[in-house]
A and B are shown apart, each in its own frame.
Chain A
Amino acid sequence: MRDPGRDVCGGAFAFPVLGDPAPGAPAPGGRAFLRSRGSGGAEKFLIGIVLVWFAVLVLFPLGAMVRGVIDAGFAESLRSLASPIAQHAFWLTLGITVISVVVNTFFGVILALVLARQKFAGKLLLNGVVDLPFSLSPVVAGFMFIILFGPNGWLGKWFEAGGIRVIFALPGMILATIFVTVPFVTREVVPVLQESGTEQEDAARTLGANGWQTFWRITIPSIRWGLGYGVCLTAARALGEFGAVLIVSGSVIGRTQTATSYIHQEFVDFHYAGAYAASLVLAVASFLMLVAMELMRKRVADRME
Protein backbone atom coordinates (compact mmCIF):
# COMPACT_ATOMS: atom_id res chain seq x y z
CA MET A 1 0.00 0.00 0.00
CA ARG A 2 1.28 3.42 -0.83
CA ASP A 3 1.89 5.99 1.80
CA PRO A 4 -1.05 8.35 1.81
CA GLY A 5 -0.71 11.99 1.27
CA ARG A 6 2.77 13.14 0.76
CA ASP A 7 4.49 12.56 -2.51
CA VAL A 8 8.17 12.95 -1.89
CA CYS A 9 9.12 12.97 -5.52
CA GLY A 10 6.68 15.15 -7.28
CA GLY A 11 5.05 16.93 -4.43
CA ALA A 12 2.03 17.24 -6.64
CA PHE A 13 -0.30 14.74 -5.09
CA ALA A 14 -1.91 15.32 -1.76
CA PHE A 15 -4.89 13.02 -1.93
CA PRO A 16 -5.41 10.68 0.96
CA VAL A 17 -5.85 7.07 -0.05
CA LEU A 18 -9.49 6.10 0.14
CA GLY A 19 -10.54 4.88 3.51
CA ASP A 20 -7.43 6.16 5.19
CA PRO A 21 -8.43 9.18 7.29
CA ALA A 22 -9.90 8.80 10.73
CA PRO A 23 -13.46 7.56 10.73
CA GLY A 24 -15.98 10.30 10.38
CA ALA A 25 -13.35 13.00 10.18
CA PRO A 26 -14.76 15.65 7.89
CA ALA A 27 -12.55 17.17 5.27
CA PRO A 28 -11.32 20.69 5.98
CA GLY A 29 -13.93 22.98 4.61
CA GLY A 30 -16.83 20.99 5.94
CA ARG A 31 -17.84 18.54 3.24
CA ALA A 32 -16.47 15.05 3.39
CA PHE A 33 -16.89 14.17 -0.25
CA LEU A 34 -14.78 11.11 -1.08
CA ARG A 35 -12.86 11.46 2.13
CA SER A 36 -14.72 9.64 4.84
CA ARG A 37 -14.37 5.91 5.38
CA GLY A 38 -15.98 4.18 2.45
CA SER A 39 -18.93 2.55 4.08
CA GLY A 40 -21.66 4.11 1.95
CA GLY A 41 -22.91 2.79 -1.35
CA ALA A 42 -21.57 5.75 -3.33
CA GLU A 43 -18.01 5.16 -2.16
CA LYS A 44 -18.17 1.47 -2.98
CA PHE A 45 -19.51 2.31 -6.41
CA LEU A 46 -16.65 4.73 -7.06
CA ILE A 47 -14.04 2.26 -5.88
CA GLY A 48 -15.61 -0.33 -8.16
CA ILE A 49 -15.41 1.98 -11.17
CA VAL A 50 -11.75 2.69 -10.49
CA LEU A 51 -10.91 -1.00 -10.20
CA VAL A 52 -12.76 -1.95 -13.38
CA TRP A 53 -11.20 0.91 -15.30
CA PHE A 54 -7.75 -0.02 -14.04
CA ALA A 55 -8.29 -3.67 -14.97
CA VAL A 56 -9.46 -2.88 -18.50
CA LEU A 57 -6.63 -0.45 -19.13
CA VAL A 58 -3.70 -2.07 -17.39
CA LEU A 59 -4.25 -5.56 -16.04
CA PHE A 60 -5.95 -7.16 -19.06
CA PRO A 61 -3.35 -6.00 -21.59
CA LEU A 62 -0.54 -7.11 -19.31
CA GLY A 63 -2.22 -10.47 -18.85
CA ALA A 64 -2.74 -10.82 -22.58
CA MET A 65 0.95 -10.21 -23.15
CA VAL A 66 1.97 -12.87 -20.64
CA ARG A 67 -0.57 -15.19 -22.20
CA GLY A 68 0.95 -14.49 -25.61
CA VAL A 69 4.37 -15.56 -24.41
CA ILE A 70 2.90 -18.73 -22.92
CA ASP A 71 0.97 -19.53 -26.08
CA ALA A 72 4.01 -19.02 -28.27
CA GLY A 73 5.97 -21.29 -25.99
CA PHE A 74 8.79 -20.35 -23.65
CA ALA A 75 11.42 -22.09 -25.71
CA GLU A 76 10.44 -20.27 -28.86
CA SER A 77 10.27 -16.96 -26.99
CA LEU A 78 13.69 -17.42 -25.46
CA ARG A 79 15.11 -18.39 -28.83
CA SER A 80 13.83 -15.17 -30.38
CA LEU A 81 15.26 -13.14 -27.55
CA ALA A 82 18.62 -14.84 -27.93
CA SER A 83 18.80 -14.15 -31.65
CA PRO A 84 21.58 -11.73 -32.65
CA ILE A 85 19.05 -9.28 -34.06
CA ALA A 86 17.09 -9.11 -30.80
CA GLN A 87 20.28 -8.98 -28.75
CA HIS A 88 21.60 -6.10 -30.83
CA ALA A 89 18.32 -4.25 -30.55
CA PHE A 90 18.26 -4.55 -26.76
CA TRP A 91 21.88 -3.53 -26.31
CA LEU A 92 21.35 -0.58 -28.59
CA THR A 93 18.28 0.52 -26.62
CA LEU A 94 20.16 0.10 -23.35
CA GLY A 95 23.08 2.16 -24.63
CA ILE A 96 20.87 4.94 -25.92
CA THR A 97 18.93 4.93 -22.66
CA VAL A 98 22.05 5.20 -20.51
CA ILE A 99 23.45 8.06 -22.57
CA SER A 100 20.10 9.89 -22.61
CA VAL A 101 19.71 9.50 -18.86
CA VAL A 102 23.22 10.79 -18.17
CA VAL A 103 22.87 13.77 -20.48
CA ASN A 104 19.36 14.67 -19.36
CA THR A 105 20.25 14.30 -15.70
CA PHE A 106 23.17 16.67 -16.10
CA PHE A 107 21.37 19.32 -18.09
CA GLY A 108 18.05 18.68 -16.37
CA VAL A 109 19.51 19.56 -12.98
CA ILE A 110 21.15 22.70 -14.35
CA LEU A 111 17.92 23.69 -16.06
CA ALA A 112 15.93 23.02 -12.89
CA LEU A 113 18.34 25.14 -10.84
CA VAL A 114 18.03 27.98 -13.33
CA LEU A 115 14.25 27.77 -13.48
CA ALA A 116 13.79 27.45 -9.73
CA ARG A 117 16.39 29.91 -8.52
CA GLN A 118 17.15 32.53 -11.14
CA LYS A 119 15.19 35.50 -12.35
CA PHE A 120 15.81 36.55 -15.91
CA ALA A 121 14.06 37.85 -18.96
CA GLY A 122 12.55 35.07 -21.02
CA LYS A 123 12.21 32.69 -18.10
CA LEU A 124 8.54 32.23 -18.80
CA LEU A 125 9.32 31.33 -22.39
CA LEU A 126 12.01 28.85 -21.35
CA ASN A 127 9.62 27.36 -18.83
CA GLY A 128 7.13 26.68 -21.60
CA VAL A 129 9.70 25.41 -24.08
CA VAL A 130 10.89 22.81 -21.58
CA ASP A 131 7.48 21.16 -21.89
CA LEU A 132 7.45 21.21 -25.68
CA PRO A 133 8.67 17.60 -26.04
CA PHE A 134 5.70 16.59 -23.87
CA SER A 135 3.18 18.06 -26.22
CA LEU A 136 4.94 17.54 -29.52
CA SER A 137 4.34 14.28 -31.32
CA PRO A 138 7.53 12.16 -31.33
CA VAL A 139 7.09 11.62 -35.04
CA VAL A 140 7.17 15.37 -35.60
CA ALA A 141 10.23 15.59 -33.36
CA GLY A 142 11.97 12.94 -35.40
CA PHE A 143 11.07 14.74 -38.59
CA MET A 144 12.58 17.98 -37.25
CA PHE A 145 15.84 16.17 -36.71
CA ILE A 146 15.73 14.82 -40.25
CA ILE A 147 15.32 18.37 -41.56
CA LEU A 148 18.10 19.68 -39.36
CA PHE A 149 20.62 16.84 -39.54
CA GLY A 150 19.74 15.18 -42.84
CA PRO A 151 22.47 15.16 -45.51
CA ASN A 152 21.14 18.47 -46.85
CA GLY A 153 20.05 19.93 -43.52
CA TRP A 154 21.47 23.08 -41.97
CA LEU A 155 23.69 21.24 -39.54
CA GLY A 156 23.71 17.92 -41.39
CA LYS A 157 25.83 19.46 -44.15
CA TRP A 158 28.61 20.27 -41.74
CA PHE A 159 28.57 16.90 -40.04
CA GLU A 160 28.46 15.18 -43.41
CA ALA A 161 31.48 17.18 -44.51
CA GLY A 162 33.25 16.08 -41.36
CA GLY A 163 32.39 12.49 -42.13
CA ILE A 164 29.91 12.15 -39.29
CA ARG A 165 26.61 10.50 -39.97
CA VAL A 166 23.82 11.77 -37.73
CA ILE A 167 20.62 10.62 -39.37
CA PHE A 168 20.07 6.86 -39.84
CA ALA A 169 22.87 6.42 -37.32
CA LEU A 170 23.45 6.31 -33.61
CA PRO A 171 24.00 10.07 -33.00
CA GLY A 172 20.59 10.91 -34.43
CA MET A 173 18.90 8.23 -32.37
CA ILE A 174 20.54 9.49 -29.20
CA LEU A 175 19.61 13.07 -30.04
CA ALA A 176 15.99 12.14 -30.70
CA THR A 177 15.75 10.16 -27.46
CA ILE A 178 17.32 12.98 -25.47
CA PHE A 179 14.88 15.39 -27.05
CA VAL A 180 11.76 13.46 -26.11
CA THR A 181 12.98 12.88 -22.54
CA VAL A 182 14.12 16.44 -21.81
CA PRO A 183 11.32 17.53 -19.44
CA PHE A 184 11.29 14.64 -16.97
CA VAL A 185 14.22 15.42 -14.70
CA THR A 186 13.59 19.17 -14.73
CA ARG A 187 9.89 18.82 -14.06
CA GLU A 188 10.48 16.53 -11.07
CA VAL A 189 13.35 18.54 -9.60
CA VAL A 190 11.96 22.08 -9.89
CA PRO A 191 9.15 21.63 -7.32
CA VAL A 192 11.53 19.92 -4.90
CA LEU A 193 14.00 22.79 -5.23
CA GLN A 194 11.25 25.34 -4.74
CA GLU A 195 9.93 23.55 -1.69
CA SER A 196 13.27 23.06 0.02
CA GLY A 197 14.23 26.69 -0.56
CA THR A 198 17.73 28.10 -0.20
CA GLU A 199 18.05 28.18 3.58
CA GLN A 200 19.87 24.88 3.90
CA GLU A 201 22.32 26.02 1.26
CA ASP A 202 22.79 29.34 3.06
CA ALA A 203 23.44 27.41 6.25
CA ALA A 204 26.05 25.28 4.49
CA ARG A 205 27.83 28.37 3.22
CA THR A 206 27.96 30.00 6.64
CA LEU A 207 29.49 26.77 7.90
CA GLY A 208 32.36 27.19 5.47
CA ALA A 209 31.25 25.17 2.46
CA ASN A 210 32.13 26.62 -0.93
CA GLY A 211 29.72 26.50 -3.86
CA TRP A 212 30.89 23.10 -5.05
CA GLN A 213 30.69 21.52 -1.60
CA THR A 214 27.28 23.07 -1.03
CA PHE A 215 26.01 21.67 -4.31
CA TRP A 216 27.20 18.12 -3.74
CA ARG A 217 26.58 17.87 -0.02
CA ILE A 218 23.34 19.84 0.34
CA THR A 219 21.60 20.56 -2.97
CA ILE A 220 21.96 17.10 -4.51
CA PRO A 221 20.99 15.16 -1.37
CA SER A 222 17.92 17.32 -0.85
CA ILE A 223 16.70 16.78 -4.41
CA ARG A 224 17.86 13.19 -4.74
CA TRP A 225 14.43 11.57 -4.58
CA GLY A 226 12.89 13.95 -7.08
CA LEU A 227 15.97 13.45 -9.20
CA GLY A 228 15.74 9.67 -8.83
CA TYR A 229 12.13 9.78 -9.88
CA GLY A 230 12.94 11.97 -12.86
CA VAL A 231 15.76 9.63 -13.86
CA CYS A 232 13.39 6.65 -13.69
CA LEU A 233 10.82 8.42 -15.82
CA THR A 234 13.54 9.40 -18.28
CA ALA A 235 14.83 5.84 -18.46
CA ALA A 236 11.36 4.37 -18.83
CA ARG A 237 10.54 6.79 -21.61
CA ALA A 238 13.88 6.22 -23.33
CA LEU A 239 13.44 2.45 -23.20
CA GLY A 240 10.02 2.71 -24.73
CA GLU A 241 10.70 5.47 -27.27
CA PHE A 242 9.50 4.48 -30.72
CA GLY A 243 8.24 7.24 -32.99
CA ALA A 244 11.04 9.77 -33.03
CA VAL A 245 13.78 7.16 -33.06
CA LEU A 246 12.06 5.17 -35.80
CA ILE A 247 12.03 8.25 -38.03
CA VAL A 248 15.69 9.17 -37.54
CA SER A 249 17.06 5.63 -37.41
CA GLY A 250 15.49 4.10 -40.47
CA SER A 251 15.33 0.92 -38.33
CA VAL A 252 18.08 -0.96 -40.15
CA ILE A 253 17.98 -4.51 -38.78
CA GLY A 254 21.05 -5.36 -36.75
CA ARG A 255 22.35 -1.79 -37.02
CA THR A 256 19.91 0.93 -36.03
CA GLN A 257 17.04 -1.15 -34.82
CA THR A 258 16.04 -0.54 -31.22
CA ALA A 259 14.06 -2.85 -28.97
CA THR A 260 10.74 -1.18 -29.73
CA SER A 261 11.27 -1.17 -33.45
CA TYR A 262 12.37 -4.80 -33.16
CA ILE A 263 9.01 -5.54 -31.56
CA HIS A 264 7.28 -3.69 -34.35
CA GLN A 265 9.29 -5.57 -36.94
CA GLU A 266 8.53 -8.96 -35.38
CA PHE A 267 4.88 -8.04 -35.17
CA VAL A 268 4.51 -7.05 -38.79
CA ASP A 269 6.49 -10.14 -39.81
CA PHE A 270 4.03 -12.38 -37.87
CA HIS A 271 6.80 -13.50 -35.50
CA TYR A 272 4.54 -13.12 -32.48
CA ALA A 273 6.76 -15.09 -30.11
CA GLY A 274 9.58 -12.55 -30.54
CA ALA A 275 7.23 -9.60 -30.27
CA TYR A 276 5.57 -10.88 -27.11
CA ALA A 277 8.81 -11.87 -25.43
CA ALA A 278 10.53 -8.58 -26.18
CA SER A 279 7.48 -6.64 -25.04
CA LEU A 280 7.43 -8.57 -21.83
CA VAL A 281 11.10 -7.80 -21.20
CA LEU A 282 10.46 -4.07 -21.65
CA ALA A 283 7.34 -4.21 -19.47
CA VAL A 284 9.20 -6.04 -16.71
CA ALA A 285 12.02 -3.49 -16.86
CA SER A 286 9.52 -0.64 -16.46
CA PHE A 287 7.78 -2.45 -13.64
CA LEU A 288 11.03 -3.08 -11.77
CA MET A 289 11.94 0.57 -12.03
CA LEU A 290 8.59 1.56 -10.57
CA VAL A 291 8.97 -0.89 -7.71
CA ALA A 292 12.47 0.37 -6.94
CA MET A 293 11.19 3.92 -6.94
CA GLU A 294 8.30 3.12 -4.62
CA LEU A 295 10.58 1.30 -2.20
CA MET A 296 13.03 4.20 -2.04
CA ARG A 297 10.20 6.62 -1.58
CA LYS A 298 8.64 4.67 1.22
CA ARG A 299 11.89 4.36 3.10
CA VAL A 300 12.54 8.05 2.83
CA ALA A 301 9.01 9.03 3.73
CA ASP A 302 9.35 6.98 6.90
CA ARG A 303 12.54 8.67 7.97
CA MET A 304 12.11 12.22 6.86
CA GLU A 305 9.16 14.52 6.85
Chain B
Amino acid sequence: MPGDYVVSPPGNTFERMHNILTLAAKGLCGGLLVVAFALLSEGLSPKRFAGLFGAAPSVAIAGLSITLIAQGVPDAHKDTIGMIAGGIGMTAYAAAVVPLLRRWGAKRAASGALTAWIAAAIAAAIPLLLT
Protein backbone atom coordinates (compact mmCIF):
# COMPACT_ATOMS: atom_id res chain seq x y z
CA MET B 1 0.00 0.00 0.00
CA PRO B 2 1.18 3.57 -0.59
CA GLY B 3 3.00 4.89 2.42
CA ASP B 4 3.97 1.41 3.57
CA TYR B 5 7.68 0.76 3.77
CA VAL B 6 9.79 -2.12 4.82
CA VAL B 7 11.62 -1.63 8.07
CA SER B 8 14.02 -4.21 9.45
CA PRO B 9 12.88 -5.50 12.81
CA PRO B 10 14.75 -3.68 15.61
CA GLY B 11 16.28 -7.00 16.65
CA ASN B 12 18.09 -7.38 13.31
CA THR B 13 19.62 -3.91 13.43
CA PHE B 14 20.66 -4.43 17.01
CA GLU B 15 22.13 -7.85 16.18
CA ARG B 16 24.05 -6.45 13.21
CA MET B 17 25.51 -3.63 15.29
CA HIS B 18 26.34 -6.10 18.06
CA ASN B 19 28.19 -8.34 15.57
CA ILE B 20 30.14 -5.42 14.07
CA LEU B 21 31.16 -4.13 17.50
CA THR B 22 32.13 -7.64 18.61
CA LEU B 23 34.30 -8.11 15.49
CA ALA B 24 35.92 -4.69 15.99
CA ALA B 25 36.66 -5.49 19.65
CA LYS B 26 38.14 -8.89 18.69
CA GLY B 27 40.32 -7.26 16.02
CA LEU B 28 41.60 -4.52 18.33
CA CYS B 29 42.26 -6.81 21.31
CA GLY B 30 43.79 -9.50 19.06
CA GLY B 31 46.16 -6.99 17.43
CA LEU B 32 47.21 -5.48 20.76
CA LEU B 33 47.86 -8.85 22.42
CA VAL B 34 49.88 -10.04 19.40
CA VAL B 35 52.05 -6.90 19.69
CA ALA B 36 52.48 -7.49 23.45
CA PHE B 37 53.70 -11.07 22.88
CA ALA B 38 55.85 -9.94 19.92
CA LEU B 39 57.57 -7.30 22.09
CA LEU B 40 58.25 -9.93 24.76
CA SER B 41 59.60 -12.26 22.07
CA GLU B 42 61.89 -9.48 20.72
CA GLY B 43 63.57 -9.14 24.10
CA LEU B 44 64.05 -12.87 24.64
CA SER B 45 67.06 -14.93 23.64
CA PRO B 46 68.06 -17.41 22.35
CA LYS B 47 65.84 -17.32 19.28
CA ARG B 48 64.51 -20.84 19.85
CA PHE B 49 63.22 -19.75 23.30
CA ALA B 50 61.69 -16.59 21.79
CA GLY B 51 59.99 -18.82 19.22
CA LEU B 52 57.80 -20.31 21.95
CA PHE B 53 55.98 -16.97 22.01
CA GLY B 54 55.46 -17.00 18.22
CA ALA B 55 52.76 -19.59 18.95
CA ALA B 56 51.36 -17.78 22.01
CA PRO B 57 47.57 -17.83 22.41
CA SER B 58 47.30 -14.06 21.83
CA VAL B 59 44.46 -14.18 19.27
CA ALA B 60 42.75 -16.93 21.30
CA ILE B 61 42.85 -14.99 24.59
CA ALA B 62 41.44 -11.90 22.86
CA GLY B 63 38.80 -13.83 20.93
CA LEU B 64 37.68 -15.97 23.86
CA SER B 65 37.50 -12.99 26.25
CA ILE B 66 35.18 -11.13 23.88
CA THR B 67 33.17 -14.30 23.14
CA LEU B 68 32.67 -14.93 26.88
CA ILE B 69 31.41 -11.36 27.33
CA ALA B 70 29.30 -11.09 24.16
CA GLN B 71 28.08 -14.64 23.46
CA GLY B 72 28.62 -16.63 26.65
CA VAL B 73 30.13 -19.92 27.78
CA PRO B 74 28.58 -22.34 25.19
CA ASP B 75 30.07 -20.46 22.22
CA ALA B 76 33.46 -20.14 23.94
CA HIS B 77 33.39 -23.91 24.59
CA LYS B 78 32.65 -24.66 20.92
CA ASP B 79 35.37 -22.16 19.86
CA THR B 80 38.05 -24.04 21.77
CA ILE B 81 36.96 -27.44 20.40
CA GLY B 82 37.79 -26.04 16.96
CA MET B 83 40.94 -24.44 18.36
CA ILE B 84 42.31 -27.86 19.40
CA ALA B 85 42.39 -28.75 15.69
CA GLY B 86 43.99 -25.38 14.87
CA GLY B 87 46.65 -25.94 17.57
CA ILE B 88 47.57 -29.33 16.10
CA GLY B 89 47.81 -27.55 12.74
CA MET B 90 50.08 -24.88 14.29
CA THR B 91 52.49 -27.59 15.50
CA ALA B 92 52.50 -29.17 12.03
CA TYR B 93 53.07 -25.73 10.46
CA ALA B 94 56.12 -24.98 12.64
CA ALA B 95 57.57 -28.47 12.04
CA ALA B 96 57.07 -28.11 8.26
CA VAL B 97 58.46 -24.58 7.93
CA VAL B 98 61.90 -25.47 9.39
CA PRO B 99 63.06 -27.63 6.43
CA LEU B 100 61.25 -25.37 3.95
CA LEU B 101 63.24 -22.34 5.22
CA ARG B 102 66.40 -24.26 4.35
CA ARG B 103 65.32 -24.72 0.72
CA TRP B 104 63.24 -21.65 -0.07
CA GLY B 105 63.03 -17.95 0.73
CA ALA B 106 60.98 -16.73 3.69
CA LYS B 107 57.75 -15.80 1.93
CA ARG B 108 57.58 -19.02 -0.11
CA ALA B 109 58.47 -21.21 2.87
CA ALA B 110 56.13 -19.43 5.31
CA SER B 111 53.19 -19.54 2.92
CA GLY B 112 54.00 -23.05 1.59
CA ALA B 113 53.93 -24.47 5.12
CA LEU B 114 50.33 -23.25 5.44
CA THR B 115 49.35 -26.41 3.51
CA ALA B 116 50.65 -28.38 6.52
CA TRP B 117 48.45 -26.25 8.83
CA ILE B 118 45.40 -26.78 6.63
CA ALA B 119 45.97 -30.54 6.26
CA ALA B 120 46.65 -31.15 9.96
CA ALA B 121 43.81 -28.88 11.12
CA ILE B 122 41.31 -30.59 8.79
CA ALA B 123 42.52 -34.07 9.80
CA ALA B 124 42.13 -33.17 13.49
CA ALA B 125 38.89 -31.24 12.99
CA ILE B 126 36.93 -34.08 11.39
CA PRO B 127 36.75 -36.31 14.50
CA LEU B 128 36.56 -33.31 16.88
CA LEU B 129 33.70 -31.59 15.06
CA LEU B 130 31.71 -34.78 14.55
CA THR B 131 31.56 -35.55 18.28
A and B pair up:
no
- Interface residue ranges, B against A (CB under 8 Å): none
